[in-house]
Amino acid sequence: MGQKTKRFKERHVSLDDKAEKRFSKAVEGTNTIKRKKRTSISSIEKKKRSLTNTLPIPPMTISGETRYIHPSEVVDRYTKVSMPKAVVAYLDVLGFSRKKCEWDTSSSLLDFSGPLLISAYHYPKIKFNVFSDCAFISSPLECAGDMISAIRFAFTQWAADGVFVRGGLAIGTYNEIDSSAFPDAPQNYVASLFYGTGVTTAVNLKGSGHGALLFLDDLCAKFYGETYGEPIFVLDDQKVIGWSDDLNALFWFAGISLLRLIRFLSIKGNDVNSPLARKLFNNLLYSLAAVSDRRYIWSLTLAILSLPDLASEARKKVIDLFHISDPEDFVSMEKLIQAWLSKEEEFAILRILADMDSSI
């Protein structure tokens, strides 16, 4: 037994020796290549470099003085906000990463963040954390109604600016943490550290459905239904809480959605089964469900489809998508359609806002 172990060890050492020799030759070959390729590096600089430091740009080295911080000081400033029962919303601008125009991109950021800033002034107990085209909004459970009110106000402004936002809404924990180093941090450092079950659930819910809508789970739907009597919509088996039933907001939301859908379908290769088409179509389905008088959105849809300069093929795709009877449905709504078409200024703005989206 001892002899076998000895032979195994000897072989093991022998293999290591061979491997080391091969490694040494490989390193020599690498150094030879480096000498041939990097002729501009001086011989003195080459001698300074070792096998453990061959990269041209070295890592940063820390300089300066260190300061002792007592643990009690860290604890006092560690937990910044703690909400054991919170409502958390995660929102982001749809199509932002596909925008091709810098002006459109910067305008979208301002249009997205502005209404949230106004809401923050109005509701000081609600936390608004906005970064780029995303935002986390959180509040204690007792302020859940105010939070929806703030989000609905923002929606009315987003709709009027043609900014489509999708979100997830969840109930769970929310915590913000701080560091004792933050007060002394330089101006070029910005940190926002937060976590919780409400945060992760809201993020997952945001991506669970198609459309510029606010998606929620069973727990959140039950809470808002029982506590506030809020109607909960179901779209593609996903629960949705209403943005707003304001007619003016739904006019912009539905009108811009339809015009962008027609524009998208007029591009060769795009069809009604694409993710973007589904999102825009779901925006319209929500608008039809949320409005108090369904004829308001339905007649608006028919009026837009009556515009003379629409791409005929794209128009037909939308008519088929909505199962519209042409011309019967248009004839039955003729008076309402003409009333819409007489609003030339509003329709002109609708078309401008629809065309401003450079992500299509």
* pLDDT score of 1 more than 90: no
Average pLDDT over residues 352-359: 92
The single residue listed with the structure tokens 């008088």 is: 293
Q: Which positions ≥6 away from 58 have C-beta within 8 Å?
A: none
Give 50's DSSP letter.
Answer: B
In order, the DSSP letters of 273-314 are TSHHHHHHHHHHHHHHHHSSSHHHHHHHHHHHHT-TTS-HHH
Predicted TM-score of the model (pTM)? 0.80
pLDDT digits (tens, 9 = 90+) for 298-318: 999 999 999 999 999 999 999
Q: What count of other Cβ atoms lies within 10 Å of the Cβ of residue 291?
A: 19
Q: How much is the pLDDT for 10?
A: 42
- Which tokens belong to 131? 């970064």
Cα–Cα separations (whole angstroms), residue 153 to 107, 147, 244: 19, 10, 8
Question: Looking at residues 317-322, what average pLDDT do you find?
Answer: 95
CA distances from 2 to 5, 8, 11, 14 (A): 5, 10, 14, 18
Instruction: State the average pLDDT over residues 320-338.
Output: 95
Residue 227: partners with Cβ closer than 8 Å, 6 or more residues away:
144, 145
Look at residue 14 and tell me whether its pLDDT is greater than 50.
Answer: no
Q: Which CATH superfamily is domain 77-241 in?
A: Nucleotide cyclase, GGDEF domain (3.30.70.1230)
- Give mean pLDDT, residues 222-228: 97
Tell me, what's the pLDDT at 15?
47
Looking at residue 332, its pLDDT comes to: 95
What's residue 4's pLDDT?
A: 47
Q: How many C-beta neighbours within 10 Å does residue 333 have?
A: 20
Q: Is the pLDDT of residue 29 over 80?
A: no
Q: Is the pLDDT of residue 19 over 90?
A: no
Indicate the range of 60-74, 168-182, 278-292 predicted with least confidence.
60-74
**Greater pLDDT, 141 or 26:** 141
What is the token pair recorded at 172? 């769970």
- Give the range among 9-23, 208-222, 253-267, 317-331 with minimum mean pLDDT: 9-23
Closest by Cα among 319, 316, 286, 317 to 301 = 319
> pLDDT band for position 66 (50/70/90)?
confident
Confidence of residue 64 (pLDDT cuts 50, 70, 90): confident
With beta carbons less than 8 A apart as the criterion, state whether 247 and 277 touch: no
Q: What is the per-residue pLDDT for 57?
A: 86
Four-CA torsion 285, 291, 296, 297, nearest 10 degrees:
-20
DSSP lists the bridge partners of residue 195 as: 175
What residue has token string 């359609």?
Answer: 337
Q: Which two tokens stand for residue 351?
A: 């078309």
pLDDT above 50 (res 9):
no
Mean pLDDT within 46-53: 54
**Per-residue pLDDT for 11 more than 50?**
no
How many angstroms separate the most distant Cα atoms in the chain? 103
